[in-house]
């Protein structure tokens, strides 16, 4: 079957393209601004990429158009597809109908930590010899790719996003996956462009819970009021808790970051790794509990996590110049920003942290959570906020006003070069520069390192 994928360079749709190709389909695709690294991965697999969404692509005459959620009404190709009466389907539904049936699906949902926890879980299964299939919104250094598929393998780890499926299907993506094992990592208000309030997101999580079989397992934190409400609406599966007062717990880390894993109060092993932060310890507990449901003994999972190298763009050290370290992190929600900074602060002690923030997600651009930023950035010594006043990533709020409670510690810029110059000028040996954005941020990491080298 020939599939033509609209929005192919997004992480999810690009991974889906790789899976479809591995399943034996002919795959082509299009996107606006075809770009690496996804374009490189796709080209290496012999997948033809077309720039833009021109209606002339109807001439390809695929058997099916697979639609990503970046596509909306008014898109020229989509309008032509609708006029022609051609067959089309959303990416999540195609995956749920054609790839996941018969698999042991392990879905990782939650407002924060989906990519990291999915990567941990896939790595634990990989280290146990289960060679899982997976579709993850990032690249774990141990796994080297974001998606893999072998129809002979039953486990399938998937990052289960609550964002809507497509312009014609406003259900959350994850309702199409029908997991047997589900991690519900946490639940907060997000995606203000899609959901009016937290209750609307809780309803989508309730729909996910309704698809899990009685022999399935739900892994969730012991304390989360929103998830309490989700489960109270109906639950037909085993529920396993983690965190404080949970069935799975983590002891406080030692000076090197190692921590003990306790199950039902008894310590069963120690994870020895270089990752920092309470959030990563909680991610690890969730991954261990989910992997156990897939047949991996906890002790074996702990050993595997001790060899886990982390995920790109999750506290990834991009370089060190003149004693200044520059990190890249995906944090873009106030809670994620706060936990990332807390983890770095514990790691570096009194060293100065320079936080460089691009509020790029739809929720942050709308200003829905802007008021929470000063508190979220409390662990930073200096804050540099980038907010364009016009264009695709323009903010609907004034960073200078929002960050005013931080006083002289915070400054805002609408010119990227000016921001780079300010950060490079303020940085001194021993500083930790933490760049936080869910986008490319104009290549700011490389520009900062270049500016630091030029200064040196």
Q: Token pair for residue 151?
A: 């129809």
pLDDT for res 311: 61
pLDDT at 393 over 80: no
What's the rounded Cα separation, in Å, for the pair 434 and 356?
6
Q: Token pair for residue 229?
A: 């409400």
**Higher per-residue pLDDT: 140 or 106:** 106
pLDDT at 318 over 60: yes
Looking at residues 209-213, what average pLDDT do you find?
Answer: 97
**Three-point CA angle 307, 314, 226, nearest 5°:** 100
Q: How confident is the model at residue 445 (pLDDT cuts 50, 70, 90)?
A: confident
Nearest CA to 178 out of 203, 200, 210 is that of 210
How do residues 223-254 score in pLDDT, each as one tens digit? 999 999 999 999 999 999 999 999 999 999 88
Q: Are 243 and 285 in contact (CB under 8 A)?
A: yes
In the block, tokens 């992480």 appear at: 11
| CATH T-level fold of 100-307 | 3.40.1190
What's the rounded Cα separation, in Å, for the pair 314 and 331?
8
pLDDT at 38 over 70: yes
Element (H, E) at 355: strand 353-357
Q: Enumerate the domain spans of the chain.
A: 2-90, 100-307, 316-455
pLDDT at 146 over 90: no
Measured CA to CA in angstroms, residue 309 lies from 41, 131, 262 at distances of 21, 18, 22
Q: How confident is the model at residue 312 (pLDDT cuts 50, 70, 90)?
A: low
In the block, tokens 């903010």 appear at: 395
Looking at residues 297-301, what average pLDDT do you find?
Answer: 96
Pick the CATH number of 2-90 from 3.40.50.720, 3.10.180.10, 3.30.56.10, 3.40.50.300: 3.40.50.720
Q: Token pair for residue 392?
A: 């695709």
Neighbours of 207 (CB within 10 A): 15
Give the annotated binding-site residues for ATP.
Answer: 110-116
Distance from CA of residue 292 to its chain's centroid? 23
Neighbours of 296 (CB within 10 A): 22
Q: Are 62 and 4 in contact (CB under 8 A)?
A: yes
Q: How confident is the model at residue 178 (pLDDT cuts 50, 70, 90)?
A: very high
Pick the CATH number of 316-455 from 3.40.630.10, 3.30.750.24, 3.40.50.720, 3.90.190.20: 3.90.190.20
Window from 105-109, 183-187, 199-203, 434-438 with minimum mean pLDDT: 434-438
pLDDT for res 208: 97
pLDDT for res 317: 82
Q: How confident is the model at residue 387 (pLDDT cuts 50, 70, 90)?
A: confident
What's the rounded Cα separation, in Å, for the pair 92 and 339?
30
Burial of 44 (0-12, 13-18, 19+ CB in 10 A): exposed
Find the helix packing angle between 278-293 and 334-348, rounded to 10°. Answer: 110
Q: Token pair for residue 14?
A: 């690009």
Give the annotated binding-site residues.
Answer: 110-116
Q: Do domains 2-90 and 100-307 have the same CATH topology?
A: no
Q: How confident is the model at residue 308 (pLDDT cuts 50, 70, 90)?
A: confident
């Amino acid at each position: 079957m020939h599939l033509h994928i609209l929005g192919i360079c997004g992480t999810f749709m690009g991974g889906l393209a790789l899976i479809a190709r591995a399943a034996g389909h002919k795959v082509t695709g299009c996107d606006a601004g075809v770009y690496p690294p996804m374009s490189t991965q796709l080209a290496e697999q012999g997948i033809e990429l077309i720039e833009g969404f021109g209606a002339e692509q109807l001439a390809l005459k695929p058997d099916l158009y697979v639609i990503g959620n970046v596509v909306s009404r008014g898109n020229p190709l989509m309008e032509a597809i609708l006029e022609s009466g051609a067959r089309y389907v959303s990416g999540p539904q195609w995956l749920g109908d054609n790839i996941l049936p018969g698999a042991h699906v392990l879905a990782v949902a939650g407002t924060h930590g989906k990519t990291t926890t999915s990567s941990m879980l896939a790595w634990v299964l990989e280290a146990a010899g289960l060679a899982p299939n997976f579709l993850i919104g990032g690249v774990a250094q141990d796994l080297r790719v974001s998606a893999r598929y072998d129809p002979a393998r039953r486990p399938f780890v998937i990052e289960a996003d609550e964002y809507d499926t497509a312009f014609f299907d406003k259900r959350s993506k994850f309702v199409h996956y029908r997991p047997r094992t589900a991690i519900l990592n946490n639940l907060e208000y997000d995606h203000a462009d899609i959901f009016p309030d937290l209750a609307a997101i809780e309803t989508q999580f309730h729909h996910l819970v309704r698809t899990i079989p009685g022999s399935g397992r739900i892994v969730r934190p012991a304390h989360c009021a929103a998830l309490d409400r989700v489960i109270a609406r109906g639950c037909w599966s085993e529920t396993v808790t983690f965190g404080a007062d949970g069935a799975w717990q983590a002891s406080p880390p030692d000076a090197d970051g190692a921590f003990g894993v306790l199950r039902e109060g008894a310590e069963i092993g120690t994870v020895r790794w270089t990752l920092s932060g309470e959030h990563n310890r909680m991610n690890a507990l969730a991954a261990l509990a989910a992997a156990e449901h897939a047949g991996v003994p906890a002790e074996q999972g702990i050993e595997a996590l001790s060899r886990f190298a982390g995920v790109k763009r999750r506290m990834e050290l991009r370089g060190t110049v003149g004693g200044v370290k520059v990190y890249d992190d995906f944090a873009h929600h106030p809670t994620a920003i706060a936990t990332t900074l807390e983890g770095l602060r514990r790691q570096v002690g009194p060293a100065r942290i320079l936080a460089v923030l691009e509020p790029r997600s739809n929720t942050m651009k709308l200003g829905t959570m802007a008021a929470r930023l000063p508190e979220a950035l409390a662990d930073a010594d200096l804050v540099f906020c980038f907010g364009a006043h016009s264009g695709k990533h323009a903010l609907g709020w004034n960073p200078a006003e929002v960050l005013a409670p931080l006083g002289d510690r915070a400054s805002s810029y609408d010119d990227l070069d000016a921001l780079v110059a300010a950060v490079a000028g303020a940085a001194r040996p021993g500083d930790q520069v933490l760049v936080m954005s869910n986008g490319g941020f104009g290549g700011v990491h490389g520009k900062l390192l270049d500016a630091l080298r030029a200064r040196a």
